[in-house]
Chains A and B, each alone.
Chain A
Amino acid sequence: MIKIEKRNDVSPSIYFLTPILAIFLTLFGGGIIFYVLGFNPIIALKFFFITPISDLYGFSELLVKATPLCLIAIGLSFCFKSNNWNIGAEGQLIFGGIVGGGVALLFYGHDGFYVLPIIILSGAIGGMIFAMIPAVLKTYFNTNEILVSLMLVYVAKLLLDYLVVGPWSNPEGFNFPETRQFSESARMPILFDGLRIHAGIFITLMTVFLSWLILYKTYLGFQIKVSGLSLKTAKYAGYKGETMIIIVFMISGACAGLAGVGEITGPIGQLHRNISPDYGFTAIIVAFLGRLNPVGIIFASLIVALTYLGAETAQIFLQVPKYTGQVFQGMILFFLLGSDYLLFFKIKFLGLKKNEL
């Protein structure tokens, strides 16, 4: 007999252990899928999760991919903590990239230490403004922020497409859909020769620290958490819900915009059609896997970044499509959400009594 009981309180150890359980279940599930598709699951998983980070270059690539993921997820944690469903971070990333890229093109050929900070700042502001659209519409017109933020992803993608094909395309670029390569002054400094890891990682780490400060040490952070736990309590306490919606969207948009500008001034160095392999969507998984906790998100971003790298390695060695990474990303979220059941319910295995048999 199995009996299910509701838990009265959630133990913090289970709260941070279930993500690890989810990761193991995902590896197991991935192994089964590889087996069904005719691969040796152990070898396939090794190509996926170990080969990519077995040298220094691979490790640097891991950090290159984790940098934007962590940054966006940190921003999203503000939204999710306060029950605001911003799922359009991808659009905010792209719009931040567009604004930052536009400024970089404006400064084309300029030297000076001020160029890069201005570009980065404008990218953050771009993402912030783009995120304010769903926030303002939600506040004043009661629209659903999920759909608005999502629709805006496609608007941003199409705007980027228009710009790189049309007005911003490289005049010497033989009509390729891309802008000029940015000047050296507009590029993120590379940290080590021969590796792609760039100064953007410091922006991410600084944001993690700041968000920890805001969330755990300020009154604003307290308000955000309370309104996430209970809207009624927040209203009773007299918190201005409307202002809060706009603030959390601004924070999360700015983070996504920073991630976008970090990509174009870092590894990419120009604007083209695909400045992001869906980092904005994947960061939602990172935010959940990290339990909306700044430190948790750092670890989660490394794990999810590994699925990106793994998919690239597996594409080369196993000839599986690059979308394979998404199978693992989807599974992690499935298992994580599913195992949350253990947080709120106790499953008791009661021995069968003899008279029941």
Chain B
Amino acid sequence: MSFDLNFIGILIGAIMASSVPLILAASGELITERSGVLNLGVEGMMIIGAISGFALMIITDNLFFAVIGSMLSGLIISIIFGILTQSLLTNHVATGLALTIFGIGMSAMIGKNFVGIPGKEFPLLFVNLKENIPFFGPILFGHSIILYFAFLLPFITNYFLKKTKIGLIIRAVGDSPTSASNQGINVILVRYSCILYGGAMCGLAGAYLSLIYTPQWIENMTGGRGWIALALVVFATWSPIKVLIGALIFGGITILQLHMQAIGFRIPVQLLSALPYIMTIIVLVIISRDSRKIKLNTPTSLGQIFYKEK
């Protein structure tokens, strides 16, 4: 195989595409976790977004409805999590797990009549530039609008959390809900909003899979990406920019593994597939043993139930 710059460009483009659902879901979950809520339902919300987006695309034949609908359905299912954890004070871990299990089952039931239907074509932007500019063309152009949004999102999230008043409020609620509450902040309202936002982003991440990445509906098609997104948030020590970098690494491993498989590389495919998970554990160990490092960005009240005595 000759050294082909354009091929490497195409490879990088593919890596970017495969990292999109991870960026979207992890960025959403990051906001949720920054407010002190640990939602393990990412996988469930993603899969609900995937089927809703696909079903709406087939039924309405309208891209806009499909994309917005997937976000809304992710948001709606996250309301269950919100009501349970925030109003009925249930345990975050168990509730999130239930949401994932429920979401996978529910999506399969809704998607029963959509199995095997080919998806519609999703418009890609600047396709002619992609083909005419070597190397940079396949990297920068010929993607869907959701990809461009996904690559902007971490920067927006970073700015939002660090520079805006609402971002500050979210961090305050996550770090010390009691003092935030004493300052007159409605902790429950802030957490509800962050849960719903996370749900919407996970829904969008799912829709990216079923509308663009592999335009069809397959049961359980998120295939554990939601769990990787969750790991990614910790991997990135709750920093949005590092989420982007982490997602590219994870996406890179996925694509690389496919290509190595194709050229008959000697390393077992399964070892490559396991690398993201093993790497997450190693990174967790590294950041967790240094308590200062993990305290820097970790929402102090993550996963704890907040109850205001009236």
Contact = CB atoms under 8 A, between A and B. Distances in A.
Interface of A: 6, 33, 37, 85, 87, 137, 140-144, 146-148, 150-152, 154-155, 158-159, 161-162, 165-166, 281-282, 284-285, 288, 319-331, 333-334, 337-338, 340-341, 344
Contacts of B270: 158-159, 161-162, 165
Interface stretch (B106-114, B126-134, B135-143, B248-256): B106-114
B108 A323 contact: yes
B105 A334 contact: no
Contacts, number: 149
Contacts of B102: 326-327, 329-331, 333-334
B230 A147 contact: yes
Contacts of A6: 309
Contacts of B268: 162, 166
B213 to A, nearest CB: 20
B115 to A, nearest CB: 8
B89 A334 contact: no
Nearest to B98: A333
Chain B interface size band reads: 35 or more
Classify the secondary structure of B's interface with A.
helix
15 contacts: A87-B93, A143-B281, A143-B285, A150-B227, A150-B231, A154-B274, A159-B274, A285-B98, A323-B109, A326-B102, A330-B98, A330-B99, A334-B102, A337-B88, A337-B98
A33 B274 contact: no
B97 interface: yes
Contact of B80 (A137, A162, A166, A334): A334
Contacts of B93: 85, 87, 146
B105 A147 contact: no
Q: Which of A158, A326, A333 has the largest count of B CB atoms less than 10 A from its CB?
A: A326
A340 B85 CA distance: 11
The 3 closest A-B pairs by CB, nearest first: A330-B102, A326-B105, A323-B108
Contacts of B289: 140-143
A123 B165 CA distance: 54
B104 A326 contact: yes
Interface in B51-105: 80, 83-84, 88-91, 93-95, 97-105
Contacts of B219: 321, 323
Contacts of A148: 281, 284
Contacts of A340: 88, 90
A200 to B, nearest CB: 24
